Amino acid sequence: MPCDVKPGPFPDERLVRVKTDGIEWCGFVPASGLRTPVNEGRTFVYTTVLEVHEDSFIAAFPGESLTASSVRGSLSRVTSGPLQT
């Protein structure tokens, strides 16, 4: 998911904010949880899809959440990317 990144409290951690299509999430994510491990700026954060419904999904983010531990999003906004099982 697209995100804004700022430095975190530790060298290998980033403060990440996702705000898109009704999804708002904020938390501390390991640098390895980002598509491009930037220290500050914009990139994408990897998510784990927990559930898929007819037109939506529920996903969780790596790291420590400052808001909800999972989010619901619309399948119409999903773009293809690497999948891990």
Closest C-alpha to 39, from 75, 73, 13: 13
Look up residue 28 and give its two tokens.
């501390």
35 within some domain = yes
85 within some domain = no
58 within some domain = yes
Look up residue 58 and give its two tokens.
């529920």
Is 13 a residue whose pLDDT tops 60? yes
84 within some domain = no
83 within some domain = no
What are the two backbone dihedrals, phi and then psi, of residue 30, each rounded to the nearest 5 degrees? -65, 145
Query: 72-84: per-residue pLDDT in tens?
Result: 888 776 665 554 5
Number of domains in the chain: 1
For residue 22, the enclosing domain spans 2-77
Query: 16-65: per-residue pLDDT in tens?
Result: 999 877 788 999 999 999 999 899 999 999 999 899 998 888 999 999 99
52 within some domain = yes
